[in-house]
Chain A
Amino acid sequence: MTNVLLILFIISLLYVSIANRIITYVRVLALQGFILFGVTFLQLKDIQTWNLILILLETVVFKALAVPMFLGYLIRRNRITRETEPYLPHFISLLIITMIVVITVLLANSIQDTHLDKIFFIVSLSTLFTGLYFIASRKKIITHVMGYLMIENGVFVLSLAVGNEMPDLVNLGIMLDVFASVLILGIFLNKIGDVFKDVDVDQLSNLKDY
C-alpha cells in the first residue's frame, strides 16, 4: 500500500509537469499532502502515539489544507494570471522529469542497503530535482514557491524512511516545513504582491553590481 501511494506521488510529479494552469499545481500540492498523510500512517509504526498524531496533523492540516488554501487566496488576491508560463514547452518538461525519475531509479538500484526502502529514496530524490527544475524553468514567483513546497514534500518522504529509528528527524522536518513555509508564504509573498504589480521574476532583477 505504501508503494502504491508513493508511485501515485511520482505520477503527480509527471502530471504537474504538463499542467497548464496554476490552480492545478495547488491541487497537486494538496493531493501530495494527503498522500503523505497515508504514507505516514502506514509507515511510522514504532513511534509514540502523540508524536504520530502531531505528524499526521501536520500533513493533513498544514500540507494538504492550509498551504493550498493560502496559495489559492494569494492567487486570487494578487490577480495572478492562470497560465504557468514555463520557459520550455510542456512536452520537454515531461521528458526531463521522466529522465529525472529514470536516473534516480538507476542510481537507487546501484546501492546495496538493507536499512532503506529504496522507493523512499527514489521518490524523494526525484521530487527534489523536479522541484529544482520547476524553480529554474517557470517564470512566476509563485511557481517558484510551489517548486520549493514540492521539495519540502520530497524531503518529508525521505525523513519518513528513517522515521522509525529517529523520530526526532521527522519532527525537525516538520519544523523546517512550518518555518520555511510561514516565512516564504506568509510574509514575503504577501509583501511582494503589494509592492510589485505583476509577480514575475523579471521584476526581481534590479539589484545589480553597477
Chain B
Amino acid sequence: MMIGIYLICAYLISALLFLNRKAAGNNILIVLFCILQTVFTVYACFSYRETSLIYFTFDSLGLLLLITLSIITIPALFHSYLYIVRHDESPQSRALYFAAIVFLITSITAAYLANHIAVIWIFTEMTTLSASVLIYHHRNKLALEGTWKYVFICAISITFVFIGILFLSLSLQHAGSNDLSFANLMIYKDQLNPFWLRLAFLFIFTGFTAKLGLVPMYTAGIDAKDKAPAPAGALMASVLMNLGFVGIFRFYVIIAHTSLFHWANLIIFIAAFLSIFVATVYMTRVTNIKRMFAYSGIEHMGIVMLGLAAGGIGYYAAILHIILHAFVKSSLFFQFNQLYRTFQSKSIQQVGNYFKYNPAGAIVLLLGFISATAMPPSGLFVSEFLIFRSLFEGSYIILLVVVLLLLTIVIWAFGKNILKILFLPVTGLDETKIPKINPWESVTQYILLFTAIWLGLNPPDIFVRLIQDAVNVLTT
C-alpha cells in the first residue's frame, strides 16, 4: 500500500514542479521530495520481504539499490539546485528540469522493487522518457543530437525487451501458466520451453544493455551522459545503470536454475569482455572528460558482468561492485561541474593544474580516480579483487589475463588524463577569470567516496547479509 502512496505523491510532486514557476515553491517541493524518498526508503527497510500492491517486493537486491539511490538522490538534487541557480535558467526550463529529475528517480525506485518483468519494463520506459528531457536540457544542436540517439536506441532496446517478454510468455505457456511474475517463473522453472527461453534471454539481455551500458547498446548512454547537465549525468551514470543490472539480474536468476545456465554465462562473458575492450580503446583516445567518466562506467559494468558470469564469490562481488561504483561515479560527475566552472571547458587539453585553483575539488578527483581504477584503499579494489578471484577459481585464466592487461591500459589512460588535469598547467589560461569555488560544495562528494571506501573495506554486518541474501537465490 505504501508504495502506492509513494508513487502517487512522487508523481504529484513531479507534476507540481512542472506547473510551478516560482523559485520558492520549487525549493519547497524539492525538499518535500527528498523527505518523501528518505521516509519511503526507511519504510522499505522495515518491511523487508513484504509484497506491496502485488507487483512490488522489498527484497534484498531492491532494498540495497534503493538505499544507494536514496543516498545519491540528495546530493543530486542539491547539485542540480546549484546548477540551475548558477545558469540563471528561465522558470520554464527550471520547472521542466526538476520535474524530469524527480520523475526519473521515482521511476527508477519503482523499477528496482518490481517483481514482475512487465512492470520493470514499464518503469524502464518511463526512465527513458524523463532522461530524454534531461539530456535535451540545453536545447542546442548537440543536445538534440544526443537526445535523438538516446531516444532512438532506447526505443529499439525497449522493443527488444518486449519481444523477449513475448518469447518468455510463449515459453511459460508450455508450463500451462500465464503469470509472468518472477516468483511464478521460479515455480515453473523446470517446465519452461528452452527454445523460447533462449530467445527470451537474448532479447531481454540485449534490450537492457542500453541502460546497463554494455556492448552492443552502450553507445546511447555515452552521448546522454555527455550532453545532460552533470548532476543528471551523475544519476544516469550510476543508478540508471543499476536499473539495467536489476532487469538482467532478476531474469538471470531464473535462467540460473535451467539447463541454459552455461549458455547464458557464455553470452554474458562475450558481452562483458567486449565492453571492457571497447571501453579500453575509447579511454585511450578520449579527450572529453565527461565521456571519459562514461567510458569508465562501461568498463566497470563489464567487470560486474564478468563477476556474475564467473559465479562463486563473483556473485557477491558483482553486487558489491555495482553499489560502490554508483557512489564513486556519481561523485566524479558531481565534481565535474566545479571543474567546468573553473576552466569553462570539457576538453582535457584546455584543463590543467586544478590543484592550484580548487584543492578541495582536486582531492575529490584524485580520490575518485583512485577509486574508479580500483587501487587500494578504495572499496572497489576489494570487489574487483573478488571478481578476479572468482574468474581464477572458475579457471578462466586466459580471460583473466587479457582483462587484467586491458585494465592496466585503462589505468594508464585514466591516470594520464587525471594527472594532467590535476598538475600540468595549461598555456594561455586567463587566471583572472577563474572563479573562487567554495570548498563546501565538495563535501557531498567526500561523503560518497568515503562511503564507498568504508563499505568496501569494513562492510557492516547487515550490508553483507543483504548482499548474501540477494545472491543466495542464484545458488539455491
Q: Let me know if A183 is at the binding interface, CB within 8 A.
A: yes
B125 engages A204 (CB within 8 Å): no
B145 engages A207 (CB within 8 Å): yes
Known: A152-B159, A155-B166. A207 touches B227 (CB 8 A): yes
Q: Let me know if B451 is at the binding interface, CB within 8 A.
A: no
A210 engages B285 (CB within 8 Å): yes
- Least CB distance from B232 to A in Å reads 17
Q: Let me know if B287 is at the binding interface, CB within 8 A.
A: yes
Which single residue of chain B is at the shortest CB-CB distance from A209? B286
Q: Let me know if A162 is at the binding interface, CB within 8 A.
A: yes
Known: A115-B174, A210-B286. A179 touches B129 (CB 8 A): yes
Q: Let me know if B288 is at the binding interface, CB within 8 A.
A: yes
- Least CB distance from B473 to A in Å reads 25
Query: Which among B144, B146, B155, B285 is the interface contact of A180 at CB below 8 angstroms?
Result: B155
Question: In the complex, which residues of chain A have a beta carbon less than 8 angstroms from the beta carbon of B227?
Answer: 207
Taken residue by residue from 286 to 310, chain B's Cβ proximity to chain A (1 for < 8 Å, 0 otherwise) reads as: 1110010000000000000000000
Question: In the complex, which residues of chain A have a beta carbon less than 8 angstroms from the beta carbon of B159?
Answer: 148, 151-152, 155, 176, 180
Q: How far is the CA of A195 from the CA of B158 in the complex (A)?
A: 27
Question: In the complex, which residues of chain A have a beta carbon less than 8 angstroms from the beta carbon of B145?
Answer: 204, 206-207
Q: Let me know if A111 is at the binding interface, CB within 8 A.
A: yes
Known: A162-B170, A176-B159, A209-B282. A196 touches B141 (CB 8 A): yes
- Least CB distance from A180 to B in Å reads 4
Query: Which among A113, A173, A179, A208 is the interface contact of B193 at CB below 8 angstroms?
Result: A113
Question: In the complex, which residues of chain B have a beta carbon less than 8 angstroms from the beta carbon of A208?
Answer: 288
A207 engages B122 (CB within 8 Å): no
- Least CB distance from B349 to A in Å reads 9
Q: How many chain B residues touch the partner (CB < 8 A)? A: 44
Known: A196-B141, A204-B149. A115 touches B173 (CB 8 A): yes
Known: A155-B162, A176-B125. A195 touches B144 (CB 8 A): yes
Query: Which among A173, A183, A210 is the interface contact of B151 at CB below 8 angstroms?
Result: A183
Which single residue of chain B is at the shortest CB-CB distance from A159? B166
B142 engages A207 (CB within 8 Å): yes
What number of A-B contacts does a CB cutoff of 8 Å give?
107
- Least CB distance from B31 to A in Å reads 30
Which of A165, A180, A184 counts the most chain B CB atoms within 10 A? Answer: A180
Q: How far is the CA of A196 from the CA of B178 in the complex (A)?
A: 47
A210 engages B288 (CB within 8 Å): yes
B163 engages A128 (CB within 8 Å): yes
Query: Which among B141, B156, B169 is the interface contact of A148 at CB below 8 angstroms?
Result: B156
- Least CB distance from A110 to B in Å reads 9
Q: How many chain A residues touch the partner (CB < 8 A)? A: 40
Q: Let me know if B384 is at the binding interface, CB within 8 A.
A: no
Which single residue of chain A is at the shortest CB-CB distance from B125? A179
Q: How far is the CA of A116 from the CA of B169 in the complex (A)?
A: 11
Q: How far is the CA of A151 from the CA of B282 in the complex (A)?
A: 31
A207 engages B146 (CB within 8 Å): yes
Question: In the complex, which residues of chain B have a beta carbon less than 8 angstroms from the beta carbon of A158?
Answer: 163, 166
Question: In the complex, which residues of chain A have a beta carbon less than 8 angstroms from the beta carbon of B149?
Answer: 204, 207
Question: In the complex, which residues of chain B have a beta carbon less than 8 angstroms from the beta carbon of A113?
Answer: 170, 193, 195-196
> Main SS of chain A's interface residues?
helix
Q: How far is the CA of A155 from the CA of B157 in the complex (A)?
A: 13
- Least CB distance from B458 to A in Å reads 38
Query: Which among B118, B125, B178 is the interface contact of A165 at CB below 8 angstroms?
Result: B178
Q: Let me know if B226 is at the binding interface, CB within 8 A.
A: yes
Q: How far is the CA of A158 from the CA of B162 in the complex (A)?
A: 10
Q: Let me know if B152 is at the binding interface, CB within 8 A.
A: yes
Known: A155-B163, A176-B162, A206-B145. A148 touches B155 (CB 8 A): yes
Taken residue by residue from 141 to 177, chain A's Cβ proximity to chain B (1 for < 8 Å, 0 otherwise) reads as: 1001000100110010011011001101100110110
A169 engages B170 (CB within 8 Å): no
Question: In the complex, which residues of chain B have a beta carbon less than 8 angstroms from the beta carbon of A151?
Answer: 156, 159
- Least CB distance from A161 to B in Å reads 8
- Least CB distance from B197 to A in Å reads 12
A192 engages B195 (CB within 8 Å): no
Taken residue by residue from 108 to 145, chain B's Cβ proximity to chain A (1 for < 8 Å, 0 otherwise) reads as: 00000000001001100100110010000000011011
- Least CB distance from B350 to A in Å reads 12
- Least CB distance from A88 to B in Å reads 21
Taken residue by residue from 148 to 186, chain B's Cβ proximity to chain A (1 for < 8 Å, 0 otherwise) reads as: 110110011011001101100110011000101000000
Taken residue by residue from 177 to 207, chain A's Cβ proximity to chain B (1 for < 8 Å, 0 otherwise) reads as: 0011001100010011001100000001011
A207 engages B223 (CB within 8 Å): yes
Q: How far is the CA of A113 from the CA of B282 in the complex (A)?
A: 45
Q: How far is the CA of A115 from the CA of B175 in the complex (A)?
A: 11
Sample of 21 A–B contacts (CB below 8 Å): A113-B193, A115-B170, A144-B152, A152-B159, A165-B169, A166-B169, A172-B118, A175-B122, A179-B125, A179-B129, A180-B159, A183-B129, A184-B155, A204-B148, A204-B149, A207-B145, A207-B226, A209-B286, A209-B287, A210-B286, A210-B287
Known: A115-B170, A172-B118. 10 other contacts (CB 8 A): A115-B174, A155-B163, A161-B166, A169-B118, A183-B129, A183-B155, A184-B155, A206-B145, A209-B285, A209-B291
CB within 8 Å of B: which residues of A? 111, 113, 115-116, 124, 128, 135, 141, 144, 148, 151-152, 155, 158-159, 161-162, 165-166, 168-169, 172-173, 175-176, 179-180, 183-184, 188, 191-192, 195-196, 204, 206-210
A-B pairs with lowest CB-CB distance, top 3? A209-B286, A210-B287, A180-B155
CB within 8 Å of A: which residues of B? 118, 121-122, 125, 128-129, 132, 141-142, 144-149, 151-152, 155-156, 158-159, 162-163, 165-166, 169-170, 173-174, 178, 180, 193, 195-196, 223, 226-227, 282, 285-288, 291, 347
